[in-house]
């Protein structure tokens, strides 16, 4: 009702402005209005007004919120007035046979622009003045915000804050490293300095909140800016990435707290879309472990490439239901949802017989190192026997590609889980030598935010008030975001041809102690003061550092700068042939039934396997804490 009331007022004003503009144009042209043109005016008054109001309505001049007017609204006014003037000229020339002087037409257009555009932007100025003259109490209670980044992202953030919050947020200005922007204004707000001035400006302007809005800069720059902003003690927020900016998805709801992914993640991956879509678009694609962290992200990204059908297989009905509902809400790709265990030979065969998948991504696995140390036979049954069943079915039913999701823990394994994944790699390498299916494996390290990983654990411990537990103060790990890992898995799948083991570039390793300290700071606390960090000793099977390939393997480059291929190593083919034959005929005879036989089974396949026992906490924790009091 309010919108229509406001639009009605504008419509009445436009009727007045349209006709005053025409009369004034005649007056300016002739120093008065000749009698013959009064006749033209009264003849054209009704049809001309109706035509112009129609063009105004068509371009939305009565539906827009003019207090937030910007370039788009200005362009709409220009288009509406220009089109209305054109129709007016046509009407006078062909209908009323009245040839108006061109100078009158130009003056009429200019005056209409001034009256109609001016009335709208006066509304905008009045709304901003009203906000600026808010009661002093409201001004004192509003949040004072400083934006880091005076480019497109910063301007969008400023506009969103102004439009969404109005007087509740007071933008004090921008910080930008471009010296040419200093002392300039963006949307009426000053650029107050560079990053070197950030702490000073935040203090002088009594800032409550700092928003980092530089979505296209490298992550290293983001890390540096976050560190500087956090040193001020102010609340630090961040804008979304460059893809959201380009797609126009930047809204005030996307401005959020800085997360560890913003600091550890890397610049966006460039994927060969043609190469990836070439083997997925229009194909029947199966993802095992579809409800897990990696499996569900595989499903999301594959769905965007429009497969003929996407098969989701998992033994967890809850996880499977979640990803099914999400995909149905965001994609129109046909889905087949399959609750199955990968150890169920008949069930897996039936899936392949009925659905005939052409591409298989095998993400189903037991992955928790400590749990598998206590249940080693289950690691072999699932990660080895289960992988064999899915790979065997891919071979028997003629799938084109099979991609195994592996792990850096398969390299020189010290845990049962890592060793089981190394045996799975060996099995698919062997099958590649006897099958028309192209088998490959992709190794990578930890992914940020996956279930059971260290980051969700640290967050829970911080929310509980601490302490944050670290197994060793010198432990390091490789990290990448789940979307990046999956993009590179899909890229590696495009390269798969002959039993390769692909290795992803994981970037620089991260010290887990540093990670814990950063997470505590991001949560608004001080390490060792508000939240303690406790070293509890390494767990069974845990290494201080992970490797992505053995010294024997080495790596070769591929066409993608973040995907490498490990050089093939010799396989114990007689052992693999004997084991696979036994798995075919009598799996119970070859699968281990207890911990001792499991370790013996692993040792036969992976001679380099060395089980690492748990190590008690060292006194280094106290030393570290004393040296890092914040």
Q: Catalytic positions, please?
A: 409
The rounded distance, in Å, linking the Cα atoms of 245 and 267 is 15
Q: What does DSSP assign to residue 237? A: E
Least Cα distance to 387 among 404, 375, 371, 400 occurs for 404
Say how far residue 292 (Cα) sits from the centre of its chain: 18
| Distance from C-alpha of 376 to C-alpha of 372, rounded to nearest angstrom | 5
Bridge partner list, 238: 212, 256
Q: How many CB atoms lie within 10 A of CB 494?
A: 22
β-pairing, 401-405 vs 359-362, is: parallel
- Asked if residues 438 and 432 have their Cβ atoms less than 8 Å apart, the reply is yes
| DSSP labels, 563-614 | EEEEPP----HHHHHHHHHHHHH-HHHHS--SHHHHHHHHHHH-TT--PPPP
- Cα distances (Å, whole numbers) of residue 377 to 26, 131, 264, 292, 369: 95, 68, 35, 22, 13
DSSP lists the bridge partners of residue 476 as 511
- The CA distance from 447 to 525, in Å, is 24
520 in Cβ contact with 513 (< 8 Å): no
What does the alpha-carbon distance between residue 528 and residue 549 come to, in Å, rounded to a whole number? 36
Closest CA to 447 of 411, 483, 421: 483
């Amino acid at each position: 009702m309010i919108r229509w009331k406001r639009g009605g007022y504008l419509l009445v004003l436009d009727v007045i402005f349209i006709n005053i503009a025409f009369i004034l144009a005649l007056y300016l042209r002739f120093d008065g209005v000749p009698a013959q043109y009064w006749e033209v005016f009264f003849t054209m008054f009704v049809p001309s007004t109706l035509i112009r109001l129609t063009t105004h309505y068509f371009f939305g001049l009565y539906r827009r919120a003019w207090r937030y007017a910007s370039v788009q609204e200005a362009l709409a006014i220009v288009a509406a007035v220009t089109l209305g003037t054109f129709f007016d000229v046509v009407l006078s020339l062909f209908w009323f046979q009245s040839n108006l002087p061109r100078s009158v037409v130009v003056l009429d257009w200019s005056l209409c622009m001034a009256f109609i555009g001016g009335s709208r932007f006066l509304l905008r100025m009045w709304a901003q003045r009203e906000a600026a003259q808010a009661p002093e109490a409201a001004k004192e209670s509003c949040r004072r915000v400083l934006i880091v980044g005076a480019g497109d992202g910063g301007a969008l953030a400023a506009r969103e804050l102004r439009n969404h919050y109005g007087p509740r947020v007071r933008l004090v200005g921008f910080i930008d490293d471009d010296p040419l922007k200093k002392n300039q204004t963006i949307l009426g707000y000053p650029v107050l300095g560079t990053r070197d001035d950030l702490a000073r400006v935040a203090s002088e302007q009594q800032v409550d909140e700092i928003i980092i809005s530089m979505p296209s800069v490298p992550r290293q720059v983001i890390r540096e800016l976050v560190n500087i902003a956090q040193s001020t003690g102010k609340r630090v927020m961040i804008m979304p990435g460059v893809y959201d900016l380009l797609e126009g998805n930047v809204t005030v709801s996307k401005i959020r707290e800085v997360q560890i992914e913003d600091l550890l993640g890397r610049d966006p991956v460039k994927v060969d879309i043609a190469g990836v879509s070439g083997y997925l678009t229009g194909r029947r694609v199966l993802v095992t472990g579809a409800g897990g962290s990696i499996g569900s992200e595989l499903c999301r990204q594959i769905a965007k490439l429009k497969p003929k059908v996407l098969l989701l297989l998992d033994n967890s009905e809850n996880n499977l239901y979640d990803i099914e509902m999400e995909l149905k809400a965001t994609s129109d790709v046909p889905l087949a949802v399959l609750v199955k265990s990968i150890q169920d030979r008949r069930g897996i065969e039936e899936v392949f017989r009925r659905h005939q998948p052409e591409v298989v991504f095998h993400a189903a696995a037991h992955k928790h190192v400590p749990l598998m140390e206590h249940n080693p036979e289950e690691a072999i049954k699932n990660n080895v026997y289960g992988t064999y069943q899915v790979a065997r079915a891919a071979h028997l039913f003629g799938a084109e590609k099979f991609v195994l999701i592996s792990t850096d823990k398969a390299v020189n394994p010290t845990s049962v889980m890592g060793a089981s994944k190394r045996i799975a790699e060996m099995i698919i390498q062997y099958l590649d030598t006897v099958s028309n299916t192209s088998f490959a494996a992709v190794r990578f390290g930890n992914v940020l935010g996956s279930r059971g990983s260290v980051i969700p654990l640290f967050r829970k411990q911080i929310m509980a008030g601490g302490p944050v537990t670290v197994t060793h103060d010198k432990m390091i790990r490789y990290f990448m975001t789940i979307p990046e890992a999956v993009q590179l898995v899909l890229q590696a799948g495009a390269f798969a041809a002959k039993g390769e083991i692909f290795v992803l570039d994981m970037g620089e390793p991260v010290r887990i102690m540093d990670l814990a300290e950063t997470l505590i700071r991001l949560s608004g606390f001080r390490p060792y003061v508000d939240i303690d960090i406790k070293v509890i000793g390494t767990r069974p099977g845990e290494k201080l550092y992970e490797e992505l390939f053995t010294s024997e393997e080495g790596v070769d480059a591929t066409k993608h700068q973040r995907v490498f291929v490990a050089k093939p190593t010799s396989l114990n083919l007689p052992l693999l042939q004997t084991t696979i034959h036994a798995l075919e005929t009598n799996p119970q005879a070859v699968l281990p039934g207890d911990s001792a036989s499991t370790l013996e089974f692993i040792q036969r396949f992976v001679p380099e396997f060395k089980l690492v026992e748990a190590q008690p906490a060292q006194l280094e924790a106290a030393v570290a804490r004393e040296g890092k009091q914040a």
